[in-house]
Structure 1
Amino acid sequence: MTTTIDVLGLREIFEQRRILMCFNGPFSASLIEEIGLALRHHLENVAASPSAVMDVFSVYIEMTQNIRHYVRENGLPDELTRATVVISQREDGHYLVSAGNKLLPADGERLLQRVRELASMDKAALKAAYKEQMRQPRDPAATTGAGLGLIDMARRSSEPLAASLQVLPDAMAFFSLEVVI
């Protein structure tokens, strides 16, 4: 049986929610880059401030690369490289960068706890946490960054980070993160 997609209905939902970009599927390094460039050009064309363009772009890149690194480092099946990313503009003019992906529930709990810790910090505490993390010795065998990504997103955000974790029936969980620029 062939299922049709109500594209007009989707478009109306996107318009109502002021969604500028939405992607759902597997991420590759080249796809992350191409979508990021398209996002940057779109924001520049709608006369977003240079700082907003850079912050939205940086948060998008950080989120998508984190998802990709997580799957690779944990040796998870390729189907878990699928993620959902939504960039929207709220009525107050702020941009909302949201992303979600499947992960192991224990990893999701740790990540959720870290996001909650960062969300409770003010700008000065986030700056101090960033500096402290920068001073930490970096494992030369590490394949990802120095653990600064979440802190950097929290520093760029105009509101506390928001996250959720939903346990799924397949022994996995779905983690969602929202950053307001």
Structure 2
Amino acid sequence: MINTIEQYKEQKGKDNLLLAYKGIITESLTTNLLSLAENKLAMVEYNSRLKKKVFHILVEVLQNIYHNYSDLKHAPEEFHDIMVMIIKSDNSYDIVAGNYLPKKYTVSLQNRIESVNAMDSESLRMTYRNRLDEGVFSDKGRAGLGIMDMVRKSGQALEYDFLSIDKDFSFFSIKVKIKN
């Protein structure tokens, strides 16, 4: 079980925490977070391929949060905060993020993650290619490739959890591990 809220509290002030943000998300803030992350990664990681991988996955995580943020327009203001962290360890980077989510979306999101996590690399590659070729987009104008892209780029299954907040909302936590 992963709990972004608790991990955020535990990681604050630690040397291996490269980036931590808690608050609302906007397009300009996303751009600033990505710029800050890029600068931090440039200071601590010499492997340019690994830097690009971490950065690309962070972009996917933030895009997924930002594009689903509109689902919270009628939610209480305290449910508008997101959390995102990049944590460096000796053999990996962890991108940990969390956001509030209407409960009505939890089952479908869980099913999508479980489905992608269960695929081997060849199945994932083929499904990804087919989805691109089909050009099928959701009502929000996206092809739903973000989760697949995170697993493809990291080579690892996603860790996730839903923490029930009240009868209408959960807090969704996700962790993407990128091994050196």
Q: Same fold per TM (> 0.5)? A: yes
Distance of aligned partners of 1:142 and 1:110 in 2 relative to their CA distance in 1, 3 Å threshold: closer
Whether the 8 Å CA contact 1:119–1:161 is kept in 2: the answer is yes
Unaligned ranges ≥5, structure 2? 1-7
Mapping 1:44-59, distance limit 5 Å: 44-59=42-57
Query: Contact between 1:32 and 1:64, CA under 8 Å: does it hold in 2?
Result: yes
| 1:69-116 deviations in Å (ceiling 9; x for gaps) | 112256444834420101101232x11011111111120221112111
SS of the residue 2:90 aligns to: coil
Alpha carbons 2:17, 2:86 under 8 Å: kept: yes
Superposed, 1:17-36 pairs within 5 Å as 18-36=16-34
Give the aligned partner of residue 117 of structure 2.
119
Q: Secondary structure at the match of 1:54?
A: helix
- Structure 2 vs 1, CA of residues 129 and 48 (structure 1 numbering), >3 Å: closer, same or farther? farther
> Per the alignment, in what secondary structure is the counterpart of residue 171 of structure 2?
strand
Contact 2:99 2:172 in 1 (8 A): yes
Task: Report the Cα distance in structure 1 between the residues aligned to 2:141 and 2:52, rounded to whole angstroms.
Answer: 21
Determine helix, strand or coil for the equivalent of 1:63: helix
Q: CA RMSD in A?
A: 2.4
Q: Percent identity?
A: 25
CA–CA distance in structure 2, aligned partners of residues 12 and 111 of structure 1? 27
Q: More displaced, 106-115 or 147-156?
A: 106-115
Deviation, structure 1 residue 142: 4.3
Match of 1:150 among 143, 147, 151: 147
> Cα gap change, 1:174/1:73 in structure 2, threshold over 3 Å: closer, same or farther?
closer
Give how far 1:136 is off: 2.0
1:51-76 CA distance string (max 9 Å, x none)? 22112112212212211211225644
Residue number in structure 2 paired with 1:162: 159
Q: Unpaired runs of 5+ in structure 1?
A: 1-9
1:97 pairs, out of 82, 95, 104, with 95
Of 153, 177, 180 in structure 2, the residue corresponding to residue 180 of structure 1 is 177
Q: Conserved in 1, the CA contact under 8 Å of 2:24 and 2:81?
A: yes
User: 1:145 deviation in Å?
Assistant: 2.4
